[in-house]
């Protein structure tokens, strides 16, 4: 199986030993604590599950700046985005050697991790501006990722962590949430050797389904991991449980047995376009995928990124040899009226726009809200029914 990045084996930061876990839980009761941001909690979940191997905790400012500017820490370890524990007020934990990190997304703010404090640094305006510009390619506060990153505080608490739970994900999505460790184990159990991963934060319509079939066929893959984001999205996005139900129905009906896994991960979407595409590829290698589908405007939002910026970044900016996982570079897929099937649009140069079945997200939501299924060339009827039921209850 493909190796994790920067290590021979995954390095999950979750404390699996029951005696050690109990001792740490007891220790946390007497430690100074801080309620961390939702983004930092998501990072703890990802590190706990081994997705961010070989990171051992939250970055200091120098490492975060290095990752923002050239995708490398000060020691040369490749990582595509800063992973920071930024807080508004660190006064309650100043001088502490170890602190308890409390989860903002669960009632009562239980301890999600214990952190050994190596430094508490104030991030300057110039440093925040540089990281924002490099990661998001914009400083527009209307960009949801920019707004989130710049709203959590300026004090960076760095140091290794020991993760004690996986936040709300394991309880709210017990059939879907998986750590990188678990996905690697399941890939082995399936007997898959060549595995392609598909990222989604939306329900999968027919074009998405066919894109996965195309990738599997062209790459000769024996397995597909549909890996959906379960963390916070932007207003208007369809909730994870609805997406989960729709995708599972699609796989059940339209994929052969033992060919596709439906899984999810706990993380807040960055909407960082190209940089987030690299991050997505990074942790897909760590979970055992050999290939990853990068589509048009991958992980983008609005008009902040070019249609294929998330593809060209792998040639233009990612350091050579940083990852072993290979990209399947895809164009927009849609139903061709001429050919009577789903095609990749760049591969049919004899087509005009009217030769495709194209529906805007607004139009699809309007149809579903009215109890009307999109045409069969756009969405499977079983998937449409689940989405209609959701919209009818809004």
Condensed to tens digits (0 to 9), the pLDDT of residues 84-100 reads 999 999 999 999 999 99
- Considering the domain architecture, whether residues 232 and 358 belong to the same structural domain is answered as yes
Instruction: Let me know if residue 121 belongs to a domain.
Output: yes
Query: What is the domain extent for residue 180?
Result: 174-265+271-392
Phi, psi dihedral angles at 203 (to 5 degrees)? -60, 155
Would strands 333-336 and 326-329 be described as parallel, antiparallel, or unpaired?
Answer: unpaired
Options 154, 202, 346, 365, the catalytic residue: 202
Phi, psi dihedral angles at 218 (to 5 degrees)? -70, -30
- Considering the domain architecture, whether residues 96 and 209 belong to the same structural domain is answered as no
What b/e sequence results for 278-298 when a residue is b if at least 16 CB atoms lie within 10 Å of its CB, and e otherwise? bbbbbbbbbbbbbbbbbbbbb
Q: Please name the residue that has the structure tokens 């678990």.
A: 182
- For residue range 42-88, list pLDDT tens digits in order: 999 999 999 999 999 999 999 999 999 999 999 999 999 999 999 99
Residue 22: CATH number of its domain = 3.10.400.10
Number of domains in the chain: 2
Radius of gyration over alpha carbons of the chain, in Å? 21
pLDDT exceeds cutoff 90 at 232: no
Would strands 223-229 and 86-87 be described as parallel, antiparallel, or unpaired?
Answer: unpaired
Instruction: Let me know if residue 4 belongs to a domain.
Output: no
Where does 119-259 show beta strands of DSSP type E?
119-122, 155-163, 195-200, 223-229
Distinct helix (H) and strand (E) counts, the chain: 13, 15
Side-chain half-sphere of 177: how many Cα atoms within 13 Å? Answer: 21
pLDDT of residue 233: 66
DSSP secondary structure letters along 133-166: HHHHS---TTSHHHHHHTTS-SEEEEEEEEE---
Of the pLDDT bands very low, low, confident and very high (cuts 50, 70, 90), residue 394 is confident
Residue 215: CATH number of its domain = 3.40.50.620
- Considering the domain architecture, whether residues 27 and 91 belong to the same structural domain is answered as yes
Q: How far apart are CA 104 and CA 116, in angstroms?
A: 20
Domain's final residue, options 167, 186, 213: 167
- Considering the domain architecture, whether residues 192 and 72 belong to the same structural domain is answered as no
Instruction: Let me know if residue 9 belongs to a domain.
Output: no
Q: Nearest Cα to 80, choosing from 311, 275, 284? A: 275
Instruction: Tell me, yes or no, if 365 is annotated catalytic.
Output: no
- 383-to-215, 238, 253 alpha-carbon distances in Å: 21, 13, 10
Would strands 119-122 and 291-294 be described as parallel, antiparallel, or unpaired?
Answer: unpaired
Interior CA angle at 357 toward 353 and 361, to 5°? 100
Burial of 76 (0-12, 13-18, 19+ CB in 10 A): exposed
User: Are the C-beta atoms of residues 210 and 344 closer than 8 Å to each other?
Assistant: no
- Considering the domain architecture, whether residues 221 and 258 belong to the same structural domain is answered as yes
- Considering the domain architecture, whether residues 161 and 200 belong to the same structural domain is answered as no
Instruction: Tell me, yes or no, if 201 is annotated catalytic.
Output: yes
Output 269 or 85, whichever has higher pLDDT.
85
pLDDT of residue 237: 76
- Considering the domain architecture, whether residues 154 and 178 belong to the same structural domain is answered as no
Q: How far apart are CA 281 and CA 323, in angstroms?
A: 8
- Considering the domain architecture, whether residues 379 and 250 belong to the same structural domain is answered as yes
Which of the 8 DSSP states describes residue 103?
Answer: P
Which of the 8 DSSP states describes residue 345?
Answer: G
Options 201, 248, 346, 365, the catalytic residue: 201
- For residue range 10-39, list pLDDT tens digits in order: 999 999 999 999 999 999 999 999 999 999
Q: Please name the residue that has the structure tokens 């961390």.
A: 36
- Considering the domain architecture, whether residues 213 and 129 belong to the same structural domain is answered as no
Longest Cα–Cα distance of the chain, Å, equals 69
Instruction: Let me know if residue 8 belongs to a domain.
Output: no
- Considering the domain architecture, whether residues 143 and 103 belong to the same structural domain is answered as yes
User: Are the C-beta atoms of residues 203 and 383 closer than 8 Å to each other?
Assistant: yes
Instruction: Let me know if residue 245 belongs to a domain.
Output: yes
User: Are the C-beta atoms of residues 152 and 144 closer than 8 Å to each other?
Assistant: no
pLDDT exceeds cutoff 80 at 197: yes
pLDDT exceeds cutoff 70 at 322: yes
Instruction: Let me know if residue 7 belongs to a domain.
Output: no
Instruction: Let me know if residue 1 belongs to a domain.
Output: no
Instruction: Let me know if residue 125 belongs to a domain.
Output: yes
Cβ neighbours of 25 (radius 10 Å): 16
């Amino acid at each position: 199986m493909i190796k994790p990045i920067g290590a021979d084996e995954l390095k999950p930061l979750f404390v699996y030993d029951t005696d050690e876990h109990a001792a740490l839980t007891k220790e946390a009761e007497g430690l100074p604590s801080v309620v961390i941001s939702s983004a930092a909690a998501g990072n703890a979940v990802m590190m706990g599950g081994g997705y961010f191997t070989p990171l051992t905790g939250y970055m200091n400012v120098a490492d975060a700046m290095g990752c923002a500017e050239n995708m490398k820490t000060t020691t040369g370890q490749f990582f595509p985005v800063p992973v920071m524990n930024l807080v508004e007020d660190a006064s309650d934990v100043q001088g502490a050697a170890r602190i308890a990190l409390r989860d903002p997304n669960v009632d009562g703010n239980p301890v999600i991790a214990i952190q050994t404090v190596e430094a508490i640094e104030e991030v300057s305006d110039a440093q925040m501006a540089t990281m924002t510009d490099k990661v998001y390619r914009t400083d527009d506060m209307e960009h949801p990722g920019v707004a989130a990153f710049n709203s959590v505080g300026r004090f960076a608490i760095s140091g290794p962590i020991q993760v004690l739970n996986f936040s709300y994900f394991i309880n709210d999505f017990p059939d879907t949430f998986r750590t990188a460790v678990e996905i690697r184990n399941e890939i082995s159990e399936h007997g898959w050797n060549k595995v392609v991963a598909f990222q989604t934060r939306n329900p999968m319509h027919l074009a998405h389904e066919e894109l996965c079939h195309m990738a599997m066929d062209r790459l000769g893959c024996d397995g597909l991991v549909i890996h959906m984001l379960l963390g916070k999205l932007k207003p208007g996005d369809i909730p994870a449980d609805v997406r989960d139900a729709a995708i599972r129905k699609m796989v059940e009906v339209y994929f052969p047995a033992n060919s596709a896994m439906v899984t999810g991960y706990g993380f807040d979407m960055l909407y960082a376009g190209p940089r987030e595409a690299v991050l997505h590829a990074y942790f897909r290698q760590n979970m055992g995928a050999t290939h990853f589908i990068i589509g048009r405007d991958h992980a983008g939002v609005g008009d902040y990124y070019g249609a294929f910026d998330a593809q060209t970044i792998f040639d233009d900016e990612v350091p050579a040899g940083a990852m072993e996982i290979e990209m399947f570079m895809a164009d927009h897929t849609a139903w061709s009226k001429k050919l009577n099937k789903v095609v990749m649009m760049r591969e049919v140069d004899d087509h005009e726009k009217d030769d495709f079945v194209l529906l805007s997200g607004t139009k699809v939501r309007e149809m579903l809200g009215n109890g009307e299924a999109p045409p069969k060339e756009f969405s499977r009827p079983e998937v449409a029914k689940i989405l209609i039921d959701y919209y009818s209850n809004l």
